[in-house]
Structure 1
Amino acid sequence: MRLIPKIGGAKSATTRRPPVNRRRRRMIVAGGTLTAIVLAGGGIWHLSQTGWIDDRMAALRGGIVEMTADAGLRVQDVILSGRLNADSDEILAALDVELGSPILGMDMEAARARLESLGWIKSAEIARRLPDVVFVRITERQPLALWQHDGRMALVDRVGETIQRSDLDGFRDLPLIVGDGAPRHAAQLLDLLSTYPALAEATEAAVRVSERRWNLRLRNGIDVRLPETDLSVALTRLDDYQREHELFDRDVVAVDLRVPDRLIVRVGPTAKPRPAALGKDT
């Protein structure tokens, strides 16, 4: 083990103060050094403010990227995983990468953000597989319903995001929802409605009312007015009544389920009196 001499030990009895002129020279040198540092700092700050340093760094990075490209690190293939409905041309355009471009020159974060701005893409991951492959994995949005709003139609997903507004012919079998705020609340209703197959089959559209509750428009024109809460209870009551009394086959205009423990039926002008066997009046 090496013994390191102690630094800054006690002064010897013969230690003398340096001459005054020597101390003055030291002060002048120190002051000049401090001034140089301040001036250099001010110069660097000025260059930074004018963008000169950023330009030089960008040029340096660009030179390094070109050197890696000359060494063979250029894009030759893009591998895409997870695409079912998203347009491949839109994906390539969003990536903004060309064949033969430097693979290390890609701005991965910007490319990912552009991909996730596309309607079908919920999330995206991008990775370089050196020397020449860009790998892209996307997760697509799951279409839930067609949304009718302000005279236009759109395809929406479970969280209410719009996927696309054109080329909707392939999605005509999806449920139809109508009204302001409908996409944000549709998943809960449609999931619940799917547990009542007869009601789901009879429903033409779910209409959002005052952004608070739903009406069901049945295929035969009947309006079913649902409550704001306890949807499951209301739908169970309606499903039981339809199964027992074939309500949807009668001349009925509307069914109101907004009052707890009641099912209020509004009949049309040609409705016949209900037989007593069907139970008490509602």
Structure 2
Amino acid sequence: MKKTKSNRRKVIKKAQKLPKPNINWTRALVPICFLSAFSALILGGRFLLDHPVRQIEIKGSFQRVTPIQVEAVIVSALTGGFLSANLNELQYQVEGLDWVESAQVTRSWPDRLKVRVIEHRAAARWGSSGLLNSQGILFTENARYMFPELPHLMGPKGTEEEVAKRYLSLRARLAEANFTLESLVMDERGAWQIKLESGQQIRIGKRDVDERLDRLFKVVAPSLADQFDRIQHVDLRYSNGFSVGWASIQETLQTEQSEALGNG
């Protein structure tokens, strides 16, 4: 038998043509042109308005820093004009001055910078020539004047805040006990010692500091109030007690004579 060949035709599918997008170029370009013109206007206006700074107004309760010092820092650090001046950098430079706790720099139209300065308040002396503020911040390490009426705090480098916090926590309790602090020291081992203006040393040590201070104010001070001027030192480095070192009779007489001369 003969096989019949079937006629097969290849079917070629024609690709469909996508419709051409109908873009309104005028409407599409209008916002872009508007933004470009607006940006150019702002940049041009900024350039025209960025005139030189002609006035510097400085305010603050000046005791240790002078307006002349502040103005000198602003002038040396000022780059650019009224609008392009870096106010954050100017503020940073002013706050770098000794005794300046904080500063604020603002613009005042048309050509003025306003500077407001707040000074540190010294709360204690630190080391040989440093000063601490009431937050325990060492704001100068080379004070020209050392304020002898302030208590003297000492400790290893980096412990300024810790020692200052201890002093601030003691200040009210010392006043209640009629004690005047001369110095508060934390040594390299972390041991604490207080010296009173009347000459007595209070040895606290490095352990159970809060408990030992409670013992000082609740037990030692009340029980020895009438004899405290005869005491040379109080040692609190015991678990449940304390020891007292008494001054010699001669030392006590010398102290009483000095106080009598001072009062006379």
What is the TM-score of this pair, normalised by structure 1?
0.60
Q: How many residues align?
A: 205
User: Given the superposition, is the C-alpha separation of residues 94 and 167 from structure 1 closer, same or farther in structure 2, using an over 3 Å criterion?
Assistant: same
Question: Do structure 1's residue 248 and structure 2's residue 228 form an aligned pair?
Answer: yes
Q: 2:56 is matched by which residue type in structure 1?
A: V
Residue 184 of structure 1 is matched in structure 2 by 161
**Could you say what the CA RMSD is over the residues aligned between the two structures, in angstroms?**
3.4
Counterparts of residues 7-18 of structure 1 (less than 5 Å) = 10-11=16-17
Cross-structure match for 1:220: 198
Q: Residue type matched to 2:120 in 1?
A: R
CA offsets per residue over residues 41-78 of structure 1, 9 Å max, x none?
Answer: xxxxxxxxxxxxxxxxxxxx9x9887435xxx443432
Shift of 1:217: 1.3
1:162 matched to 2:139: yes
Change (3 A) 1:221 1:135: same
Paired position in structure 1 for 2:213: 235
Q: 2:129 aligns with which of 127, 148, 153?
A: 153
Counterpart residue identity of residue 80, structure 1? I
Aligned to 1:202: 180
Q: Sequence identity, in percent?
A: 22
Q: Aligned in 2, Cα 1:234/1:130: closer, same or farther, shift over 3 Å?
A: same
Question: How many Å apart are 1:242 and its aligned residue?
Answer: 2.5
Give the residue type in structure 2 aligned to 1:68.
L
Letter in 1 for 2:183: A
CA distance in 1, matches of 2:123, 2:197: 20
Distance 2:67 2:208 in 1: 44
Tell me which amino acid in the other structure corresponds to 1:187: A
Equivalent-residue separation in structure 2 for 1:98 and 1:238 (angstroms): 53
Q: Using the TM superposition, give the Cα deviation of residue 229 of structure 1 relative to its aligned residue in structure 2, in angstroms.
A: 5.2
Note the alpha carbon deviations across 1:99-151, whole angstroms, 9 max, x for none: 9x842352323212211211222333222112122122334333220113xxx
Judge conservation of contact 1:155–1:162 (CA < 8 Å) in 2: yes
Unmatched segments (≥5 aa) in structure 1: 1-8, 13-60, 272-282
Distance 1:81 1:201, change over 3 A: farther
From 82, 97, 103, the counterpart of 1:118? 97
Note the C-alpha offset of 1:269: 5.0
Q: What are the ranges of 5 or more consecutive residues in structure 2 without an aligned counterpart?
A: 1-14, 19-42, 251-264
